[in-house]
């Protein structure tokens, strides 16, 4: 599809709309139906949507399939996060990081899966009497040429991804079958006794305070998640359009980001045993802000090595914040139910519907550098929200908590 960034941004927006509705729907259903069957169903249907995506060559069909894929992905995220939090409660930190490490490992593998099936770029030289065509490896030659792309087989990459996704349903189905024979914890909806056990360590907040806390946390996690999603989805476009790197370098850069992201998630698992979740979030946020400032400098002065380093450091610093926000809620504020998870993820979806359009508009109509400017602005707002939440915890929760709770 021959679309500019502003138009193609609608793909992200429609996908986020599906994600929003899926998060909302499955958040309501999570506490009412069998968890394992729900996880199996949404994972299977998401896999089918991924597998058929490359055959949707018309823009309208691409929008539709991204909506469907987003809908079931929202169900996966709500069900997975709620399931972990409801089983382990205040002790969920390492398990939540492990779950999200699996997500990031898939993101690391994805670009490399697509690479062998991408169209090869060729260069037909224009300043010679005979026209020759060579496959790029990119060079810095000054010879003018007509860039052309060969045939793509990208549908195989999507098929492989779909098969991998549907294979993830097997453990859920095995556990579901075992739950019929054995009295397992995971085969029942979230019980009232589970909520009571977790609430024994936290003060009871009135409805107004719950709304304030959930609203602030939703805005915080949504603002941060938008930074994460926009960085991972637009870094290759930024290097291609503004820095004029070739597409293979862009794919390698995306792989570096996801490799660092996965490594950071893996390292975050033991880190949760030594750092309070709230302090962990602050450290990672400050590090990420410093990285984006360095990326701004590297982009202005075209320091290629620093851009690679910033991309890797961005992956590391983004790795723990999203799952840690769920853990922070369960440890210090409220029991994480399906409805609370849905509220967070609906907020993430709304931000990921709005901000791609903003990024696309300013990058197309003003400068590609607005990619970095907007990232930095959102991180500053995230830090301000974090400070506000910490202050409210100290005022309304810590003085009335029967056991020690990390702010």
CATH of the domain at 19: 1.20.1250.20
Helices then strands, counting H and E runs in the chain, come out as: 14, 3
In the chain (407 residues long), the average pLDDT of successive 10-residue segments reads 63 81 84 80 88 81 88 85 75 79 71 64 52 44 52 71 84 79 50 47 79 94 92 86 80 86 88 89 96 94 92 92 88 81 84 86 89 95 96 80 52
Interhelix angle for 59-88 vs 321-332, to 10°? Answer: 40
Number of structural domains (the chain) is 1
345 touches 115 (CB < 8 A): no
- Cα 139 from Cα 223, distance rounded (Å): 39
| Radius of gyration in angstroms for the set of CA atoms belonging to the chain, rounded to a whole number | 23
- 406 occurs within a structural domain: no
Pairing verdict, β 145-149 and 121-125: antiparallel
pLDDT value at position 341?
82
Q: Is the whole model's pTM more than 0.75, yes or no?
A: no
Helices (H), 31-90: 35-52, 59-88
* Domain-located, residue 396: yes
Q: Report the pLDDT value the prediction gives residue 345, as an integer from 0 to 100.
A: 83
The predicted structure's pLDDT at residue 306 = 94
Is 405 part of any domain?
A: no
68-45-339 Cα angle (round to 5): 75
What's the half-sphere exposure (Cβ side, CA atoms, 13 Å) at 164?
15
Whether 22 maps to a domain, the answer reads yes
Give me the domain span that covers residue 123: 5-400
């Amino acid at each position: 599809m021959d679309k500019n960034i502003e138009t193609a941004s609608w793909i992200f927006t429609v996908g986020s709309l599906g994600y929003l509705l899926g998060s909302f729907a499955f958040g309501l259903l999570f506490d009412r139906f069998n968890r394992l069957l729900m996880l199996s169903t949404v994972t299977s249907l998401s896999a089918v949507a991924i597998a058929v995506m490359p055959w949707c060559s018309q823009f309208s069909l691409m929008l539709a399939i991204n909506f469907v894929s987003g809908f079931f992905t929202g169900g996966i995220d709500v069900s997975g996060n709620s399931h972990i939090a409801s089983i382990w409660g205040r002790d969920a930190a390492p398990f939540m990081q492990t779950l999200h490490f699996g997500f990031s490992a898939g993101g690391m593998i994805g670009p490399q899966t697509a690479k062998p099936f991408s169209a090869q770029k060729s260069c037909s030289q224009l300043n010679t009497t005979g026209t020759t065509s060579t496959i790029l490896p990119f060079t810095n030659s000054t010879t003018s040429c007509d860039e052309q792309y060969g045939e793509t087989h990208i549908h195989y990459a999507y098929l492989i991804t779909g098969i991998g996704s549907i294979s993830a349903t097997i453990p859920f189905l095995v556990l579901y079958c075992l739950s019929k024979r054995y009295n397992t914890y995971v085969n029942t909806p979230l019980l009232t006794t589970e909520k009571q056990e977790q609430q024994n360590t936290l003060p009871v907040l009135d409805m107004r305070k719950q709304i304030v806390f959930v609203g602030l946390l939703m805005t915080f996690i949504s603002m941060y998640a938008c930074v994460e999603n926009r960085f991972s989805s637009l870094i290759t476009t930024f290097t291609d359009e503004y820095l004029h790197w070739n597409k293979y370098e862009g794919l390698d850069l995306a792989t570096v980001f996801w490799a660092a992201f996965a490594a950071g998630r893996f390292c975050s698992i033991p880190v949760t045993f030594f750092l309070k979740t709230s302090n962990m979030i602050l450290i990672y946020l400050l590090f990420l802000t410093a990285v984006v400032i360095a990326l701004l400098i590297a982009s202005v002065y075209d320091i290629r090595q620093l851009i690679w380093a910033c991309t890797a450091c961005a992956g590391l610093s983004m790795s723990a914040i999203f799952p840690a926000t769920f853990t922070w809620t369960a440890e210090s504020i409220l029991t994480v139910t399906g409805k609370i998870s849905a509220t967070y993820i609906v907020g993430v979806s709304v931000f990921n519907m709005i901000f791609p359009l903003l990024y696309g508009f300013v990058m197309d109509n003003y400068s590609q550098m607005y990619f970095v400017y907007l990232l930095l602005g959102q991180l500053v707002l995230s830090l301000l929200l974090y400070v506000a939440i910490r202050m409210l915890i100290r005022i309304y929760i810590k003085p009335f908590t029967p056991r020690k709770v990390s702010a």
